[in-house]
Amino acid sequence: MKLYYFSEMPHHEYPDAEGDRYPSLRLAFPNTFFSPEIARRNYQRYLDEYEAADQAGFDGLMVNEHHSTPSCVNVSANMTAGILARTTRNAKLLILGNILPIQDNPVQMAEQIAMADLISGGRVLSGFVRGVGVESWWANSNPVHNRERFEECHDLILKCWTTPGPFRWEGRHYHFRHVNPWCLPLQKPHPPIWVPGTASPETAVWAGRMGYTYVPFLVSFEVARELFDFYRQGAAEAGRTVTPDKLGFLICAVTADTRARALEAGRHFVWRMGPTLRGPAEYFAPVGMRSRAASRFALRARGAPLSKMSYEELVDNYYIVADTPDAVAERFARVHRELGIGHLLLEAQESRMDHATTMRSIELMGKSVIPAMAAL
């Protein structure tokens, strides 16, 4: 099983009481609390940590992108991938992912991913996501068109990568009369495509049909299994066999020299389970964004929301793993047994977890956890 290092690049350097005064940390919390000086230091620090993860032997470095939120100030997954393409050597660069429906220029997206793939020597894993509603607000992209735009944007990117130009594209949402990108990926026919999921059965079925690697984020084993079943259903429709290499899972994880220190560090993940997800439903799932099937699935499958779980419950239920390296390896092995996955994505830094703690965790993972997982 392969391990991936991931940080959301948070900007949690403000008084929490200030954030609590607004309906949500996303969209509503004023950016007057954003500090360019702090962010300048943070970006350097977060990139250093990614580079350390590469040197420690992580199989992949995952980057993502959000907007209008202190929970993630990585505002361009492709820009970060471009930097890491140059400053790291071995790890795959998992962009998970580009938010396709809010893109107005899929051709430029195809070029940017291709450029990162070229600079990295073919290490890009290209994730495509529909995004949470917040990003639709940020881009002022009609949520009613979210799924249609996701699929059309995907189709055009794939065509850019696989069909010689020039060609014309006139779809429902995207119109380009002269497509001929002079930047194509190194990997052929194109970088592997990954798709995350939290609630949408359609996305799981679609990913299965397309043969893409599918990764549920922060859900229970039970929900993950159900989503994998949808994935397998799609794969079967297309006559594909599902191997562990096509299945991943994302959890939060940190390790330390003692269990007590690890548990203390792990508390920083609670911020992303509650406060950063607080807000009106309209922010996260604006009208039209979610299909009826996804809404029903979300209602049925969720159980207690992450925000209502105690730290202990989050740890007990594998949303957070925080322990000594040996114990962490045991828990990862359990995840592997439960879900039959080939990729475990670790959100490995959060909130106010400091640089020293993060670096020590990376180092310890590299020394004993990653080798143990490689054997699975």
Partner 1 sequence: MEPVALRAQARDVGLELIDARHLVPEVLHLVRDRHEMPVQVVHVIHPFRELASGGDSVRRSSPGAANVCYPRPVTPSEETIAVGPTRIQVLIGGEGDPLLVLHGAGGNRGWLRWMAKVAERHTIYAPTHPGFGGSDSADWMEGIDDLARFYLWFLDVMKLDRVDLLGHSIGGWTAAEMATMCPRAIDRLILVAPTGLKPERGEILDIFFYPPDELFRHTVLDPASIPERETLFGRPPTPEEAEIALRNRETTARLTWKPYMFNPRLPHFLPRVTAPTLVIWGREDGIVPVECGEQYRRLLPHARLEVLERCGHLPLIERPDEFAALVSGFLERRTA
For binding to partner 1 (CB under 8 A), which residues are involved?
137, 140, 142-144, 280-283, 286-288
Q: What b/e sequence results for 149-163 when a residue is b if at least 16 CB atoms lie within 10 Å of its CB, and e otherwise?
A: bbbbbbebbbbbbee
CB closer to partner 1 out of 114 and 285: 285
- How near is the Cβ of 291 to partner 1 at its closest, in Å? 11
CA distance 218 to 8: 14
- Which neighbouring-strand residues pair with 196? 215
CB closer to partner 1 out of 28 and 183: 28
Contact 112, 180 (CB under 8 A): no
CB closer to partner 1 out of 214 and 283: 283
- How near is the Cβ of 141 to partner 1 at its closest, in Å? 8
Contact 246, 216 (CB under 8 A): no
CB closer to partner 1 out of 287 and 304: 287
Q: Count of alpha carbons within 13 Å of 359, Cβ hemisphere only?
A: 10
CA distance 28 to 375: 46
CB closer to partner 1 out of 133 and 325: 133
How many other C-beta atoms are found inside a 10 Å radius of the C-beta of residue 116?
28
- How near is the Cβ of 145 to partner 1 at its closest, in Å? 8
Q: Strands 167-170, 175-179: parallel, antiparallel or unpaired by DSSP?
A: antiparallel
CA distance 77 to 312: 32
CA angle 4, 5, 11 (to 5 degrees): 145
- How near is the Cβ of 76 to partner 1 at its closest, in Å? 23
CB closer to partner 1 out of 143 and 325: 143
Residue with tokens 């350390």: 52
- How near is the Cβ of 178 to partner 1 at its closest, in Å? 25
CB closer to partner 1 out of 142 and 317: 142
Q: How far is CA 38 from the centre of its chain?
A: 24
- How near is the Cβ of 23 to partner 1 at its closest, in Å? 9
- How near is the Cβ of 152 to partner 1 at its closest, in Å? 14
Q: How far is CA 130 from the centre of its chain?
A: 11
